[in-house]
Chains A and B, each alone.
Chain A
Amino acid sequence: MAKVMVKGTEAIGEAAIRAGCRHFFGYPITPQSELPEYMSKRLPEVGGVFLQTESEVATVNMLYGAACTGKRVMTSTSSPGFSLMMEGVSYMACAKLPAVFVNVVRGGPGLGDIQPAQGDYWQATKGGGHGDYRLIVLAPSTVQEAVDLTVLAFDLADKYRTPALILADGMLGQMMEPVEFPEFRDLSTLPDHSDWALTGAKGREPHIVTSFDIDPYVLEKMNLELVEIYKEIEKNEVRWEEYKTEDADIVITAFGTVARIAKSVVDMAREDGLKVGLFRPITVWPYPYEPLEKLADKVEMFFDVEMNMGQMLEDVKLAVKGKKPIKFYSRMGGVVPTPNEIYDALKKEIGR
Chain B
Amino acid sequence: MRKVLYKMPESLTGKEFTYCPGCHHGIIHRLVAEVIDELGIREKTLVVAPIGCSVFAYQFFNMDGTIAPHGRAPAVATGMKRARPDLYVFTYQGDGDLAAIGTAEIMHAANRGEKITTIFVNNAIYGMTGGQMAPTTLLGMKSTTTPYGRKAENDGYPMHMCEFLKEARGVAYLARTKVNTPQDVEKTKKAIKKAFLAQVKGIGFGMVEVLSTCPTNWGIDPISANKWLEENMIPEYPLGVFVDKVGDEK
On A, residues with C-beta under 8 Å from B are 23, 25, 49, 51, 53-55, 57-59, 61-69, 71, 73, 87-88, 91, 95, 198-203, 206-212
Give A207's nearest chain B residue, CB to CB.
Answer: B64
CB-CB under 8 A from A87, the residues of chain B are: 69
CB-CB under 8 A from B104, the residues of chain A are: 54-55, 57-58
Further pairs besides A61-B105, A198-B80: 19, Cβ < 8 Å: A49-B83, A51-B78, A55-B104, A62-B75, A62-B76, A64-B76, A65-B75, A65-B78, A65-B79, A68-B46, A68-B79, A68-B80, A91-B69, A200-B45, A206-B62, A208-B59, A208-B65, A209-B65, A210-B66
Q: Could you show 13 A-B contacts with beta carbons less than 8 Å apart?
A: A49-B83, A57-B72, A57-B104, A58-B75, A61-B69, A61-B105, A64-B66, A64-B79, A65-B66, A65-B80, A201-B64, A203-B43, A206-B63
Contact A200 B44 (CB under 8 A): yes
Contact A63 B63 (CB under 8 A): no
List CB contacts (< 8 Å) of B54-105 with chain A. Answer: 55, 58-59, 61-69, 72, 75-84, 87, 104-105
The smallest beta-carbon distance between B68 and chain A, in angstroms, is: 6
CB-CB under 8 A from B83, the residues of chain A are: 23, 49, 65-66, 68-69, 71, 73
CB-CB under 8 A from B65, the residues of chain A are: 198, 206, 208-209
Given known A-B contacts A69-B84, A200-B46, A200-B87, A53 and B66 have beta carbons under 8 A apart: no
The 5 closest A-B pairs by CB, nearest first: A65-B79, A61-B75, A62-B79, A66-B79, A65-B76
The answer, yes or no, to whether B48 is at the interface (CB within 8 Å) is yes
CB-CB under 8 A from A210, the residues of chain B are: 58, 66-67
Q: How far is the CA of A139 from the CA of B2 in the complex (A)?
A: 70
On B, residues with C-beta under 8 Å from A are 13, 42-46, 48, 55, 58-59, 61-69, 72, 75-84, 87, 104-105, 107-108
Contact A67 B79 (CB under 8 A): yes
The smallest beta-carbon distance between A174 and chain B, in angstroms, is: 29
CB-CB under 8 A from A73, the residues of chain B are: 79, 83
Contact B43 A61 (CB under 8 A): no
Q: How far is the CA of A46 from the CA of B226 in the complex (A)?
A: 54
CB-CB under 8 A from A64, the residues of chain B are: 66, 68-69, 72, 75-76, 79
CB-CB under 8 A from A209, the residues of chain B are: 65-66
Q: How far is the CA of A65 from the CA of B68 in the complex (A)?
A: 9
Contact A199 B68 (CB under 8 A): no
